[in-house]
């Protein structure tokens, strides 16, 4: 066994050991100082650095790994996955990202502003699509997930192109029993809305519903009409949705349906009616802790709306 193999093996022992990240990182650095072209070493080191939230060094290690083997689809995909995980952080200031779950702030100098993360994701998504061009299952999956990112960052036309490709390749999806059409058409509607193409936004949203999209998203149609300036249709769609939810409450009362009804009524600006809808929770007695919490949240929401209207 060569010295390089021995150093890698020793580092990997700690890599797979519980709470062994820091010792593993120390050993990987020794390996890579002597053998800077060891791709596995850079890959493992990047993973360890992500684990301990050392994002700058993790990104640098990933870039080094990919510079040594730019055609490695697996390593490219792993780096892209790590970049996407960083999207859970809320951009707070130049190079500062906030983890709202832990309330921790992370300075990531390798990402120069919020758009820098998107540019990295875009770059490696396009690269991965090329590397996997003969694997149609991967091409379907990548186009679908990449389209969401593009649309969220305002690249609506590019997002539509990816969605159309995913639609074309839908039969190559892994989960055959899951119908992708509601999700695809819904995202198409979002993209067309971003482009101010309201006709197609409504058309594709209807196509999503026809293919089984959850009725709660029905309120999105109201928002489209509102943006069009058609408040009459905005209100009518909300009233139609309330009727749908009322039927569900009568047949199978659940906290989710009552919450949806109250949210919809508040979109109409009718606070008194929203307060009356709180009585719908009575059918769920005796209340469990979760229901009590939801009732308290809805009361607080209504009171906030009431206070805002009185200002």
Domain ranges of the chain: 132-213, 230-311
CA distance 198 to 191: 10
Q: Is 93 helix (H, G, I), strand (E, B) or coil?
A: strand
Question: Nearest Cα to 242, choosing from 277, 287, 269, 279?
Answer: 277
Spatial neighbors of 311 by CB under 8 A, at least 6 apart, are none
Q: What is the CATH code of the structural domain delimited by 230-311?
A: 1.25.40
The predicted structure's pLDDT at residue 311:
52
The predicted structure's pLDDT at residue 171:
93
Q: Which residues of the chain have pLDDT under 70?
A: 311
CB atoms within 10 A of CB 24: 22
CA distance 272 to 281: 16
Spatial neighbors of 57 by CB under 8 A, at least 6 apart, are 49
Spatial neighbors of 290 by CB under 8 A, at least 6 apart, are 255
Q: What is the CATH code of the structural domain delimited by 132-213?
A: 1.25.40
Q: What is the DSSP letter of 17?
A: S
CB atoms within 10 A of CB 136: 14
**Beta carbons of 48 and 29 less than 8 angstroms apart:** no
CA distance 188 to 148: 10
The predicted structure's pLDDT at residue 160:
98
CATH topology agreement for domains 132-213 and 230-311: yes
Alpha-carbon torsion, ordered 197, 151, 218, 234, to 10 deg: -40
Q: How much is the pTM?
A: 0.86
The predicted structure's pLDDT at residue 115:
87
- Asked whether the bond before 43 is cis by omega within 30 degrees of 0, the reply is no
Spatial neighbors of 132 by CB under 8 A, at least 6 apart, are 73, 138, 139, 142
CA distance 48 to 21: 6
CA distance 207 to 253: 28
Token code pair at residue 35 = 């053998």
**Beta carbons of 28 and 44 less than 8 angstroms apart:** yes
CB atoms within 10 A of CB 242: 19
**Beta carbons of 244 and 215 less than 8 angstroms apart:** yes
> At what angle are helices 136-152 and 156-168 packed, to 10 degrees?
160
């Amino acid at each position: 066994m060569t010295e390089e193999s021995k150093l890698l093996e020793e580092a990997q022992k700690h890599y797979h050991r519980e709470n062994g990240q820091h010792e593993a990182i120390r050993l990987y650095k020794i390996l890579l100082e002597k053998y800077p072209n060891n791709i596995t070493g850079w890959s493992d080191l990047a993973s360890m650095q992500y684990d301990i939230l050392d994002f700058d060094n993790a990104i640098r290690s990933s870039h080094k790994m990919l510079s040594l083997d730019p055609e490695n689809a697996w390593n490219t995909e792993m780096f892209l996955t790590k970049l996407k995980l960083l999207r859970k952080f809320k951009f707070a200031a130049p190079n500062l990202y906030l983890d709202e779950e832990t309330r921790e702030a992370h300075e990531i100098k390798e990402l120069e502003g919020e758009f820098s993360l998107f540019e990295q994701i875009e770059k490696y998504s396009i690269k991965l699509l090329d590397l996997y061009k003969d694997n149609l299952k991967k091409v379907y999956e990548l186009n679908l997930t990449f389209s969401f990112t593009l649309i969220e960052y305002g690249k609506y036309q590019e997002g539509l192109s990816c969605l159309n490709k995913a639609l074309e390749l839908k039969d190559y999806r892994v989960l055959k029993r899951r119908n992708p059409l509601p999700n695809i058409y819904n995202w198409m509607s979002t993209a067309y809305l971003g482009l101010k193409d309201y006709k197609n936004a409504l058309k594709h949203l209807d196509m999503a519903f026809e293919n089984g999209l959850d009725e709660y998203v029905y309120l999105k149609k109201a928002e489209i009409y509102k943006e069009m300036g058609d408040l009459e249709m905005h209100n009518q769609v909300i009233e139609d949705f309330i009727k749908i939810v009322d039927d569900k409450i009568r047949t199978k009362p659940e906290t989710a349906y009552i919450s949806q009804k109250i949210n919809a009524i508040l979109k109409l600006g009718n606070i008194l009616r929203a307060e009356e809808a709180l009585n719908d929770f009575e059918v769920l007695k005796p209340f469990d802790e979760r229901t009590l919490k939801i009732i308290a949240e809805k009361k607080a929401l209504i009171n906030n709306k009431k206070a805002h209207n009185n200002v």
